[in-house]
Amino acid sequence: MAANTKVKKVFSEALGSSNPVFAQILGICSTLAVTNKLENTFVMTLGVLFTTSLSSFTLSLIRKWISPRIRMMVETLVIATFVILVDISLRAYMPEIWRQLGPYVGLIITNCIIMGRAEAFALNNPPALSLIDGFASGLGYTYVLLIIAFFRELLGSGTIWGITVFGGWWNNWAIMIMPPGAFFMLAIFIWIVKGLWLEKEGSR
Amino acid sequence: MSTTLAVPVTIFFASIFTNNILLANYLGMCSFLSVSREIKTSVGLGIAVTFVMATTSLLNWLVYHYILIPLNLDYLRFIVFIMVIAAFVQIVEMIIERVSEGLYASLGIFLPLITVNCAILGVSLFMVIRDYDLLSSFLFGFGSGLGWFLAIMAMAGIRQKLKRAQIPRGLEGAGITLIITGMMALAFMGFAGILNIT
């Protein structure tokens, strides 16, 4: 039962109050860079989910043998190993998306969410729980990215997952798929979430 | 100007303005958001980033073309690049600590932050994807560093003025910074007509 409540806590924190993207402002680079198309975003989030779960799990497994002085090096090595797996499989099975994502697949290594979870959770908790924690943080990242990508693709190209939803009457907001649109969209998203949240806390 | 030099020079200026690593490629956002509160600290970090970026792009180019490619270990580039960057930053930190205490006090504290700055790794990855030669890679790293420096300094200046502004509650901190960054990106897009790299 105790394990069950712990798992619940891990999920509710990762998806809500300490969501990596909008509450801790981590992993912003890729949040902005890959969200101009829903399909690319989905593939990218799968890569991050895979890396963050398995690197948390692995680091937790070997946590007793990592000396604190070199732990950053070990963390980076473990994370980089999983990112290479993601990179190789994407290149083999989805070459077109791999090409569009460009350097951002490799940059999963420096995604602060993964390192952050390793530092804050995996090094002090058992493997199974760390795996769940890594997965939950990845999920928190995933749903924020998918929401942002949904609106950016819809407004910027009039499509969802490449399927046209708005007809010829729709003028594409070209700015939405370009860099400034990414910054504005994320700011608006943070504003809405924090606004709703502050209101809730104020009424308590 | 001969064409052999024209390309690297174009890359240099384009990486500062039209293809700014932060405003067009979104890299280095984490430290950009957290360190841009004061002009003084952002200048320190800006100098450190420019230096490390220019040098590691050079080092990584040499490692990639003289070690990884001949040994057919291309797929190991992520690990190798991040190790080169981490090792280099560590060495620079130790040298600065020995040589100059004043420099260490002003720059040293930023160096550990740099290893996890995704812009540094990003520059090395872009250089591989775009297949730059040695000179182009170096100028691309140097220009990207300067571009990042320019962006964070401008942002620190604006944020100092912002302290006196009334901002809607939900937008404070990250929100308003992102909106201003968006506006800066919009302004930098104005350079797009001058030169471009792909």
Q: Which domain holds residue B120?
A: 28-189
Complex confidence, ipTM: 0.85
Nearest to A77 among B29, B79, B121 (CB): B79
Q: Measured between CB atoms, which of A73, A106, A112 is closest to B121?
A: A106
Q: How many domains does chain B have?
A: 1
Rounded Cα distance between B65 and A2, Å, is: 54
Q: Is residue A11 part of a domain?
A: no
**B178 interaction partners in chain A (CB closer than 8 Å):** 183-184, 186-187, 190
Exposed/middle/buried for residue B116 (C-beta within 10 Å: 0-12, 13-18, 19+): buried
Residue A52 lies in a domain: yes
**Which of A191, A198, A199 has the highest number of chain B CBs within 10 A, making it the mutation to test binding with B?**
A191
Residue A9 lies in a domain: no
- CA nearest to A182 within chain B: B182
What local confidence, expressed as pLDDT, does residue B125 receive? 92
- The one-character DSSP state at B64 is I
Choose the closest CB to A80 out of B78, B179, B186. Answer: B78
**Which residues neighbour B13 within 8 Å (Cβ) at sequence distance 6 or greater?**
B143, B194, B195
The sign one gets for the Cα dihedral A120, A122, A124, A125 is positive
Is B71 within the bounds of a domain? yes
Q: What's the CA gap between B155 and B95, in Å, rounded?
A: 30
Quick check: is A3 in a domain?
A: no
Number of domains in chain A: 1
Which residues constitute the domain of residue A65?
Answer: 17-203
- pLDDT one digit per residue (tens) for chain A, 204 residues: 467 888 888 888 888 778 888 888 888 878 888 888 899 999 999 999 999 999 999 999 998 888 887 888 888 889 999 999 999 999 999 999 999 888 888 888 888 888 888 888 888 899 999 999 999 999 999 999 999 999 999 998 888 888 888 877 888 888 888 888 999 999 999 889 888 876 676 554
Contact A131, B143 (CB under 8 A): no
Give the side-chain half-sphere CA count within 13 A for B99.
Answer: 9
A3 to chain B, closest Cα gap in Å: 33
Summarised one tens digit per residue, pLDDT across range B118-128 is 889 999 999 99
Residue B195 lies in a domain: no
DSSP A125: S
Residue B176 lies in a domain: yes
Q: Which residue of chain A comes nearest to B20, CA vs CA?
A: A179
Give a yes or no: residue A39 inside a domain: yes
Q: In chain B, which residue's Cα lies nearest the Cα of A85?
A: B75
Question: Does any domain span residue B16?
Answer: no
